[in-house]
């Protein structure tokens, strides 16, 4: 078996892309999108007509409404290919507004349901700020499943579990990026690879904590830089992987053993149960320089790309 086939025996494989024309090749169970991936897709000639048609059909609606129509249109196309779920992200510019996040999430779900898609096939992606986590708590209580993204710190994972969110996406590659940049010339790539990779270690700690304490929230490793990071987390509940890395896994026959397993008694060193109220959460996040910087950077980056998509839509609407 190639590495992708091996991986599918250990974890649920998810494609991290808005390019739904690539999905069938890799046969993922689910797919995830974000503002940057949608923007990347609509800039391609294959998807430009989809954007133009959607804008034309809703040109009298508000800009926010049209954006949501575009996001859901991509989600609907993805769901024609994957048998499982699609993740659709709430505007990152709402990351610190609980009520607005809840309202936007409900509108996205309503659009999916109006198109005949059951809400169980949709995960609403929300940045794992305190406000985002509390929005997810409210949504989950109403049967709207959430995927908490831009997750870099252990406190974020604990708070998400307390909110009973369906799934979290801890970012492996961006944690790796931060540590590599921080250490500069003293970074030893070989010594900090596989199970010694700081991003892999972060996800492993969260996964083990969840399993030790019987937490139902699923862990989906995300944001990978190389296939070594992926295989070092094989056995994690889910792994969302870009098409280029899926292709590299498909091209390799090198065997590997699953690194994590939910059904074994050994889940690492015992971790005491932790709980965070708002003040404790904010302090713990503030105390983690990497997580603080990467969360802010991630929100800013998604917001910039959301703004670019807004501009494209407005130009198309004016031309329609």
Dmax over Cα atoms in the chain, in whole Å? 61
The residues, ordered by sequence, that sit 6+ positions from 106 with a Cβ below 8 Å of its Cβ are 139, 144
Q: What is the pLDDT of residue 100?
A: 98
pLDDT tens, position by position, 201-228: 999 999 999 999 999 999 999 999 999 9
DSSP E strands in 143-254: the ranges are 146-151, 167-170, 218-221, 238-241
Q: Using an 8 Å Cβ cutoff, are 13 and 241 in contact?
A: yes
pLDDT tens, position by position, 221-242: 999 999 999 999 999 999 999 9
Catalytic residue among 8, 59, 80, 125: 125
pLDDT tens, position by position, 20-64: 999 999 999 999 999 899 999 999 999 999 999 999 999 999 999
Q: For residue 61, give both structure tokens.
A: 């609606």
Cβ atoms within 10 Å, residue 106 = 15
Going by C-alpha positions, the residue among 276, 267, 304, 318 that lies closest to residue 92 is: 304
Q: Using an 8 Å Cβ cutoff, are 72 and 89 in contact?
A: no
Q: What is the pLDDT of residue 319?
A: 87
* Torsion angle of the four alpha carbons 167, 304, 16, 64, in this order, in degrees rounded to the nearest 10: 70
Going by C-alpha positions, the residue among 165, 100, 125, 97 that lies closest to residue 36 is: 125
Active site residue 180: no
* Residue with tokens 């199970």, as numbered in its chain: 195
Q: What is the 3-state secondary structure (H, E, C) of 56-115?
A: HHCCCCCHHHHHHHHHHHHHHHHHCCCCCCEEEECCHHHCCCHHHHHHHHHHHHHHHHHC
With a cut of 90, say whether residue 176 has pLDDT above it: yes
With a cut of 80, say whether residue 266 has pLDDT above it: no
Q: For helices 63-79 and 289-319, what crossing angle results, to 10°?
A: 100
With a cut of 90, say whether residue 105 has pLDDT above it: yes
Supply the mean pLDDT for the chain. 96
Chain mean position to CA 159: 17
With a cut of 80, say whether residue 267 has pLDDT above it: no
Helix or strand holding residue 14 (H, E) = strand 12-16
pLDDT tens, position by position, 81-103: 999 999 999 999 999 999 999 99
With a cut of 70, say whether residue 265 has pLDDT above it: no
User: What's the pTM?
Assistant: 0.96
pLDDT tens, position by position, 127-167: 999 999 999 999 999 999 999 999 999 999 999 999 999 99
Distance CA 175, CA 223 (A): 9
* Bridge partners of residue 220, in order along the sequence: 238
pLDDT band at 320, cuts 50/70/90? confident
DSSP E strands in 203-313: the ranges are 218-221, 238-241
- Domains of the chain, earliest start first: 3-319 (3.20.20.70)
> Once rounded to an integer, what is the mean pLDDT over residues 283-311?
97
């Amino acid at each position: 078996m190639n590495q992708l086939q091996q991986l599918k025996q250990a974890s649920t494989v998810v494609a991290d892309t808005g390019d739904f024309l690539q999905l069938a090749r890799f046969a993922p169970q689910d797919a995830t999108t974000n503002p940057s991936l949608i923007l990347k897709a609509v800039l391609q000639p294959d998807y430009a007509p989809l954007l133009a048609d959607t804008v034309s059909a809703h040109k009298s609606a508000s800009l926010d409404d049209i954006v949501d129509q575009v996001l859901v249109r991509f989600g609907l196309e993805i769901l024609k290919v994957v048998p499982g779920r699609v993740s659709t992200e709430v505007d990152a510019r709402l990351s610190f507004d609980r009520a607005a996040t809840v309202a936007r999430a409900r509108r996205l779900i309503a659009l999916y349901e109006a198109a005949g898609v059951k809400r169980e096939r949709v995960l609403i992606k929300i940045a794992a700020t305190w406000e985002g986590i509390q929005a997810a708590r409210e949504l989950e209580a109403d049967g709207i499943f959430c995927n908490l993204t831009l997750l870099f710190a252990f406190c974020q994972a604990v708070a998400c579990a307390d909110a009973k969110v369906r799934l979290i996406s801890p970012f492996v590659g961006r944690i790796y990026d931060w540590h590599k940049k921080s250490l500069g010339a003293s970074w030893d790539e070989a010594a900090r690879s596989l199970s010694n990779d700081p991003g892999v270690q972060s996800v492993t700690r969260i996964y083990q904590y969840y399993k030790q304490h019987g937490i139902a929230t699923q862990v989906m490793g995300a944001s990978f830089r190389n296939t070594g990071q992926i295989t070092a987390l094989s056995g994690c509940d889910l792994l969302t992987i870009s098409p280029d890395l899926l292709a590299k896994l498909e091209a390799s026959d090198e065997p590997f053993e699953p690194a994590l397993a939910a059904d074994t008694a050994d889940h690492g060193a015992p971790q005491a149960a932790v709980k965070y109220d708002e003040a404790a959460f904010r302090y713990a996040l503030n105390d983690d320089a990497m997580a603080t910087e990467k969360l802010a950077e991630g929100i800013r980056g998604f917001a910039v790309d959301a703004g670019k998509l807004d501009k494209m839509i407005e130009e198309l609407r004016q031309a329609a």
